[in-house]
């Protein structure tokens, strides 16, 4: 793999994929360093929770409990028979009652019973408050026969006697409602701003109502009056009310409702349960009314016949002066009367079945059918089928105006249809049996009538009239008896619903939840800044700490260099007592631990970086300076032929330099320049050549290094950044130690993979890292990196080389006032004692 390909591969690597797990300990210290922000976030969260708790309108929940009791029973055997035939499903009982309780029809009935035709809201500074019942500031009377506006009205109280009325939304078109007819339509007139008096009727084309004050101190207060669309409000209440089983395998139902006014919630639930009970009673009585209607229709016809035959009988007796008849005729009459009564009973039953068949033609019946017992029908199957049909019709009516595609309504309609078909099938069979009985009775009747023809003509006529009278009287009496029974049943109808608990409202609101809001506010207030710190730390792609270098490169760190606050690059020479100078002295001391063997000195040191701006030239100058200050004869070579600049810091000339020597235009002694500092010489880069890489690999460079090693203790070579060109790798062949300079908060982590790749393959040896420009501001942690005044480091672990020497490095960032030399140590760090 060539250099360019290798470089591109390294740069495309993820800086996080090959690193160790997240350093939570370091992150914890970072949080501590930002504690004012975290505390501030918690304070803001608590303040936000306080504002929510203070100004959000409380929401309360009311609850009641009812018990559904068993209605009319048909007996366990009959219920099982009907269930097996598919005409009865007891599961629907509870589900349908739940639907009834959630129906808008029942909600509308409740709203009207409570006079919820309007809502009064007071506008406060920060929230709106609904008034109801005892908290009402005034009494509102209105005319149900007159239209009232559905547009919200704004009432601004001027003084004790007057108020100003305006539309809340001045651009809204006015729609009005007439509660007496439940009709809504647009109003051709607008509502203009007017001043009215309390206790006087306000009349216009769009409204008619009167306000009577309850509270005298209303001046300056503002209210909103909203006349409600009852149907829309009923739909909303039907959605809001919650109906759930009170317990498993129980017929108890729990009813809950949430709202902002406790008194209103309680009143609504109680009225809602009353309306539910009344609704059920009305539907139960409806079945009796259907039966009474059938009886009355039969009585009307029979009564006319009875009166007519009675008059004929009386007239016949008077005109023929007949009081008694013979015993033979009496016996025949009694036998005929019995047959006539049986025939009349059968015909009454057949009339009922004709009525029933007509009712069954309606696939979606609205009204219950008359009960078979009114016609003397006692067949248990038909009695129970009709009862179940009426129950289903009752359930359907209680569901209100559900859509046709509602699953519960569809199931009820399916059961109604199945029950109707079963009734039709049974009616056909029963009618066949009745007709057979009727034919038999009619034969007996004709036989008896033939015997009756032997009595005198006058007695025959009397008995014929009397027979008709007796038949009508018997049927009339029978129907009157049934009518009385139905009336008693209707009067004694009882509800199947028992109220177990009246509505009650908890004084503690559902929302806002004060304690929970404070807890959430404090947690969010702390989590948000901590989460932000975590994200910027986790996804930080810059080198921040020694751990970052170790995780990726696995190359030893020779030292850390603090941030240079001065304009000059000659920090060690101009400010020898500064903490940065001490940093370079620490690196000088650590050179001992990088010797290949105890007796092999380190003489040639190359200094490079990954990208421009990391401070390699700065490190070269000051590291060479600190070596010279230690009494070692040192020379610094500017090998960055593309960007020469070392000469400028020392005030020297760039020519002749390294490039002219390598090109054969200068001799070694001509390119060496002395500085004003003892033991320190410079070789500048020289004129920028067109082929710097080719010059570096010439034999002359090797010769130069060989000659300089004879004259100097240390040779510092400042090389170009390795990601730009490969010169540094060529120069590394001649170096005893290769220093790679990284810069805190500047060097991208992904570039570190290049040195790890070369070090792991053995193509690059004697490598050490320098972390430059270290300061607490750039560290990303709550502490910096630095040293005490002494020469020891204390990180807790170190590296060993050769014959067992080791070194370490420690945290903490001290700095020195560079004018007077006094150590300056951050307040949260204790000064290390000198040993």
Does residue 5 surpass a pLDDT of 50?
no
Structure confidence by residue, pLDDT tens digits, 465-505:
666 666 667 767 777 777 776 666 666 566 677 888 888 99
Structure confidence by residue, pLDDT tens digits, 610-657:
999 999 999 999 999 999 999 999 999 999 998 898 999 999 999 899
Say if residues 60 and 259 touch (Cβ distance below 8 Å).
yes
d(CA 427, CA 433): 10
Q: What is the mean pLDDT of residues 649-673?
A: 92
Backbone region of residue 821 per phi and psi (left: phi > 0; alpha: psi in -120 to 50; beta: other values): left
pLDDT given for residue 304 in this prediction: 64
Backbone angles phi, psi at 325, to 5 degrees: -120, 170
pLDDT given for residue 497 in this prediction: 78
Architecture of domain 546-824: 3-Layer(aba) Sandwich (3.40)
Does residue 57 surpass a pLDDT of 70?
yes
Q: What is the mean pLDDT of residues 145-151?
A: 91
pLDDT given for residue 257 in this prediction: 92
Average pLDDT, the chain: 79
Q: What is this structure's pTM?
A: 0.56
Does residue 833 surpass a pLDDT of 50?
no
SS3 569: coil
DSSP line for 412-462? HHHHHHHHHHHHHHHHHHHHHHHHHHHHHHHHHHHHHHHHHTTS-HHHHHH
Kindly report which listed range (341-355, 679-693, 708-722) carries the lowest average pLDDT score.
341-355
d(CA 574, CA 581): 10
Q: Domain segments of the chain: what residues? A: 17-56+512-538, 76-275, 285-497, 546-824
d(CA 719, CA 91): 89
Q: Which helix (H) or strand (E) holds 763?
A: none
Does residue 148 surpass a pLDDT of 70?
yes
Structure confidence by residue, pLDDT tens digits, 513-527:
888 999 999 999 999
Expressed in angstroms, the distance from the first to the final Cα of the chain is: 52
SS3 195: strand
The residue that leads in pLDDT, 80 or 774, is 774
Say if residues 686 and 725 touch (Cβ distance below 8 Å).
no
pLDDT given for residue 286 in this prediction: 65
Structure confidence by residue, pLDDT tens digits, 101-143:
888 888 999 999 999 999 999 987 778 889 998 888 899 999 9
Structure confidence by residue, pLDDT tens digits, 559-589:
999 998 888 899 999 999 999 999 999 999 9
């Amino acid at each position: 793999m060539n250099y360019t390909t290798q470089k591109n591969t390294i740069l495309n690597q993820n800086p996080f994929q090959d690193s160790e797990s997240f350093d939570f300990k370091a992150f914890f210290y970072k949080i501590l360093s930002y504690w004012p922000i975290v505390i501030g976030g918690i304070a803001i969260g608590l303040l936000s929770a306080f504002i929510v708790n203070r100004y959000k309108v409380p929401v309360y929940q009311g609850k009641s409990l009812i018990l559904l009791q068993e209605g009319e029973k048909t007996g366990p055997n009959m219920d099982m028979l009907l269930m097996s035939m598919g005409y009865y499903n007891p599961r629907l009982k509870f589900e349908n009652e739940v639907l009834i309780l959630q129906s808008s029809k029942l909600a509308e009935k409740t709203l009207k019973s409570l006079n919820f035709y309007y809502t009064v809201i007071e506008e406060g500074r920060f929230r709106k408050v609904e008034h109801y019942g005892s908290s009402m500031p005034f009494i509102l009377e209105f005319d149900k026969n007159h239209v009232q506006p559905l547009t919200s009205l704004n009432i601004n109280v001027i003084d004790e006697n007057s108020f100003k009325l305006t539309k809340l939304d001045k651009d809204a078109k006015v729609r009005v409602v007439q509660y007496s007819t439940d009709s809504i339509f647009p109003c051709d007139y607008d509502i203009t701003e007017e001043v009215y008096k309390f206790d006087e009727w306000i009349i216009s084309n769009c409204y008619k109502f009167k306000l009577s004050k309850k509270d005298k101190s209303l001046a300056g207060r503002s209210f909103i009056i909203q006349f409600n669309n009852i149907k829309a409000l009923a739909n909303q209440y039907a959605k809001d009310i919650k109906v759930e089983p009170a317990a498993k395998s129980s017929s108890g139902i729990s009813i809950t409702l949430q709202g902002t006014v406790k008194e209103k919630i309680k009143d609504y639930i109680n009225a809602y349960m009353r309306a539910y009970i009344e609704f059920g009673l009305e539907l139960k009585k409806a079945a009796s009314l259907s039966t009474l209607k059938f009886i009355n229709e039969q009585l009307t016809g029979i009564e006319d016949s009875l009166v007519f035959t009675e008059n004929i009988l009386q007239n016949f007796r008077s005109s023929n002066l007949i009081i008694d008849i013979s015993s033979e005729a009496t016996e025949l009459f009694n036998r005929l009367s019995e047959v006539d009564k049986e025939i009349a009973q059968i015909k009454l039953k057949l009339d009922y079945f004709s009525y029933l068949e007509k009712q069954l033609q309606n696939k979606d019946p609205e009204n219950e059918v008359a009960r078979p017992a009114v016609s003397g029908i006692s067949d248990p199957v038909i009695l129970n089928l009709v009862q179940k049909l009426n129950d289903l019709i009752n359930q359907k009516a209680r569901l209100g105006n559900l859509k046709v595609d509602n699953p519960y309504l569809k199931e009820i309609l399916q059961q109604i249809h199945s029950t109707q078909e079963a009734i039709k099938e049974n009616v056909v069979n029963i009618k066949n049996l009745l007709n057979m009985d009727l034919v038999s009775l009619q034969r007996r009747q004709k036989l008896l009538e033939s015997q009756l023809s032997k009595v005198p003509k006058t007695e025959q006529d009397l008995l014929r009239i009397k027979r008709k009278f007796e038949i009508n009287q018997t049927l009339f009496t029978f129907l009157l008896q049934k009518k009385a029974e139905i009336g008693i049943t209707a009067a004694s109808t009882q509800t199947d619903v028992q109220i177990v608990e009246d509505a009650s409202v908890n004084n503690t609101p559902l929302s806002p939840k004060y304690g929970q809001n404070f807890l959430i506010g404090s947690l969010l207030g702390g989590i948000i800044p901590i989460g932000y710190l975590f994200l910027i730390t986790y996804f930080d792609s810059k080198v921040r700490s020694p751990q970052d270098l170790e995780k990726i490169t696995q190359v030893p760190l020779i030292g850390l260099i603090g941030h240079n606050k001065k304009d000059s690059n000659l920090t060690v020479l101009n400010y020898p007592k500064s903490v940065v100078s001490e940093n370079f002295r620490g690196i000088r001391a650590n050179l001992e631990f990088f010797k290949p063997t105890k007796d092999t000195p380190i003489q040639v040191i190359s200094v490079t970086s990954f990208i421009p701006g990391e401070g390699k030239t700065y490190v070269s100058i000051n590291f060479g300076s600190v070596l010279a200050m230690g009494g070692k004869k040192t020379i610094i070579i500017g090998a960055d032929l593309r960007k020469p600049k070392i000469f400028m810091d020392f005030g020297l000339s760039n020519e002749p330099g390294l490039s002219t020597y390598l090109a054969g235009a200068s001799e070694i002694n001509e390119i060496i320049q002395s500085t004003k500092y003892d033991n320190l010489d410079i070789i500048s880069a020289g004129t920028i050549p067109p082929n710097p890489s080719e010059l570096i690999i010439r034999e002359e460079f090797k010769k130069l290094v060989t000659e300089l090693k004879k004259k100097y203790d240390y040779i510092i070579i400042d090389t170009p950044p390795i990601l730009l060109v490969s010169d540094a790798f060529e120069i590394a062949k001649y170096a005893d130690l290769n220093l790679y300079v990284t810069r805190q908060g500047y060097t991208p982590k992904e570039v570190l993979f290049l040195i790890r790749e070369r070090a792991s393959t053995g193509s690059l040896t004697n490598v050490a890292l320098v972390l430059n420009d270290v300061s607490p501001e750039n560290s990303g942690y709550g502490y910096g990196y630095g040293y005490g005044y002494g020469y020891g480091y204390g990180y807790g672990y170190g590296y060993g080389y050769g014959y067992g020497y080791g070194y370490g490095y420690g945290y903490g960032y001290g700095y020195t006032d560079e004018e007077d030399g006094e150590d300056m140590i951050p307040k949260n760090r204790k000064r290390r004692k000198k040993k």
